[in-house]
Amino acid sequence: MRTSHKINTEEKNLVKLKVRNMKLRCIECGREYPIDEVRYRCDCGDLLEVVHDLNDLDAENLRELFDKRWGSMQFPYNSGVWRYKELILDVDDKFIVSKPEGNTNLYRAGKAGEYAGVKRMFLKHEGENPTASFKDRGMTCGVTAAKMLGCKKVACASTGNTSASMAAYASIAGMEAIVFIPEGKIAFGKLAQALAYGAKTLQIEGNFDDAMQLVQQVCSELNIYLLNSINPFRIEGQKAIAFEILQQLNWEVPDWFVLPGGNLGNNSALSKALRELYEIGIIDKIPRIAVIQAHGANPLYRMWKNKTPFKPVQAETIATAVKIGNPVSWKKSIRGLKWSNGVVEEVSEQEIMDAKAMIDRAGIGAEPASCCTVAGTKKLVEAGIINKDDLVVGILTGNLLKDPDSVVNYHLSRLKGIKSTYANRPIKIKATVKAAKQALIES
Ligand SMILES: *Cc1c(COP(=O)(O)O)cnc(C)c1O
Ligand SMILES: [Zn+2]
């Protein structure tokens, strides 16, 4: 497979002038490439990352700048990604494609925190993004890069949320969106979005990992810009989750960040963000990161726990957003775990859905994959790894309404192999006051 391709070079000179102090670098061999080359892998085959020149950034000035932009109504600083532009993609505003995204709530975890067993827990609700998942943060950056590079067509493989997000941003940017989704089992809310926003949707006979393989080949052959999280600009945008959480905590550094792991882009972004803030001197310690995988899609967990080489698995889980057996970013993920003295944990289907019931009932709500966060925190507290007094921030990656089937089926006790521990069943009654009274007094 080719590792790079040309798309359209008309705007190339322009781009050179507009992108400041950035290059692409291989995470394995260190080889560097210009930032305006369409390329997702090094010639050695490994992943690339965006490297910023952090030398001329001053911690105090930068923090002040970010704080001054907080609450701004002015494009692009009204976005919770572009507020941190200097650390993400310092590009001319005219290229920026923004909905705007971010500015999501950081909730006190309440009952969900009690359930997890920690006293001070916050839940960052990334399901409050414009297309209802954290993917919008990476996508605004990825589609902006596509525009900057002069691309007209973009594609991704997706378990649902990436396609929903890409479809929306491509539409705004006037680009054609092509999505590859695995057959069956894609949550209804997500499929609905991809179709609604007008993406050309290819439902392939195979799982996500097959779709991921295929989209890389197709993009290379047909010169289409690839917007999976193998795209280093996606990772840059997702870093903003960390920046925004810290800003919401008035730059107090938590002890832990806990988040689900699927294709492993998000935790890679988180660790990169924290390391950069640390290097600049905006924070003086790097919080620990806990990546939580579903038991049925746990290649990172196996590798980390057993200290064995990375080996893909056949993925199966109710948490469809993390139903990925061969995650693209495992190497970046491992590197980030080293930087952050991180841990990996796995959770069962039962633990995911019970944690979900608690997050939902706390009035916060999230889709199943997100709930690995609270389920995993609970396990790590029980194992004595997370301390009850630690300040813990869990990331909820997607909205409750993405997967309404999983909610209703849980509460109606219709999930195979899962006990509906906290079911809230609807009560059927006759349409009379008497029947209503009876139901309300009895229950
Ligand atoms: C994409 C996604 C994940 C997994 O994130 P990775 O970066 O692939 O590890 C988790 N939860 C939700 C809701 C997602 O959409
Ligand atoms: Zn290399």
Tokens of 87: 């650390």
pLDDT tens-digit readout, 376-417: 999 999 999 999 999 999 999 999 999 999 999 999 999 999
DSSP at 184: S
The answer, yes or no, to whether residue 7 has pLDDT greater than 90, is no
Nearest residue (by CA) to ligand 1, atom 1, is 321
pLDDT value of position 442: 73
Distance 435 CA to ligand 1 centre (A): 45
The answer, yes or no, to whether residue 424 has pLDDT greater than 80, is yes
Tokens of 296: 């049925």
Closest of 380, 376, 262 to residue 330, by C-alpha: 262
Q: Whole-angstrom distance between the N-terminal and C-terminal Cα of the chain? A: 63
pLDDT tens-digit readout, 300-338: 999 999 999 999 999 999 999 999 999 999 999 999 999
Counting ligands in written order, which one lies closest to the CA of residue 49? 2
The answer, yes or no, to whether residue 16 has pLDDT greater than 60, is no
Distance 397 CA to ligand 1 centre (A): 6
Using CA atoms, how far apart are residues 103 and 240, in angstroms rounded to an integer?
10
Distance 260 CA to ligand 1 centre (A): 7
pLDDT tens-digit readout, 226-241: 999 999 999 999 999 9
pLDDT value of position 17: 47
Output the CA angle 230-235-241, nearest 5 degrees: 150
Distance 266 CA to ligand 2 centre (A): 22
Which residues' Cβ are closer than 6 Å to ligand 1?
A: 133, 135, 161, 229, 260-266, 321-322, 367, 369-370, 397-398
Using CA atoms, how far apart are residues 334 and 274, in angstroms rounded to an integer?
15
pLDDT tens-digit readout, 333-383: 999 999 999 999 999 999 999 999 999 999 999 999 999 999 999 999 999
The sheet that has 22-26: what strands, in order across it?
32-34, 22-26, 48-52
Counting ligands in written order, which one lies closest to the CA of residue 24? 2
Using CA atoms, how far apart are residues 201 and 43, in angstroms rounded to an integer?
30
Neighbours of 4 (CB within 10 A): 14
Provide Rg for the chain, Cα atoms: 22
The sheet that has 120-125: what strands, in order across it?
106-108, 120-125, 391-396, 256-260, 288-294, 343-347
User: What number does the ligand 1 atom closest to the CA of 327 have?
Assistant: 8
pLDDT tens-digit readout, 89-142: 999 999 999 999 999 999 999 999 999 999 999 999 999 999 999 999 999 999
pLDDT tens-digit readout, 32-42: 999 999 999 99
**pLDDT average, residue stretch 290-297:** 98
Q: Let me know if 49 is exposed, middle or buried by CB neighbors in 10 A (0-12, 13-18, 19+).
A: middle
Closest of 394, 443, 429 to residue 105, by C-alpha: 394
- From its phi and psi, is residue 201 left (phi > 0), alpha (psi between -120 and 50) or beta? beta
Output the CA angle 371-374-376, nearest 5 degrees: 100
pLDDT value of position 393: 98
pLDDT value of position 3: 60
- Give backbone dihedrals phi and psi of 256, rounded to 5 degrees, phi first: -135, 145
Counting ligands in written order, which one lies closest to the CA of residue 269? 1
Cis peptide leading into 309, omega within 30 of 0? no
Tokens of 138: 């990476």
